Amino acid sequence: AVDTIYRSGDLARIQALIEQYQIDYIYIGALERERYSADRLAALAQVGEQVFAQDEVVIYRVRR
């Protein structure tokens, strides 16, 4: 499910998985940037509010 959240461009699918697994935060660091495309990672910003950013790390708090 985690891989699907990072790979999917389907916002509805991402939100459904976030709800199903009760995810509160999404972490994007160097590994995620290396492994997943920038446009897919940008889609994750739509489901949350940025609460932390430093160097290559960004953390989003999921909006409910």
Per-residue pLDDT tens over the stretch 1-60: 999 999 998 999 999 999 999 999 999 999 999 999 999 999 999 999 999 999 999 999
Residue-level pLDDT at 64 = 83
pLDDT of residue 9: 87
Sheet holding 25-28, edge to edge: 25-28, 57-62, 48-54
- Report pTM: 0.90
Q: pLDDT at position 21, please?
A: 97
What SS3 class is residue 10? coil
Using DSSP's 3-state secondary structure scheme, residue 5 falls into helix
User: Residue 8 has what pLDDT?
Assistant: 92
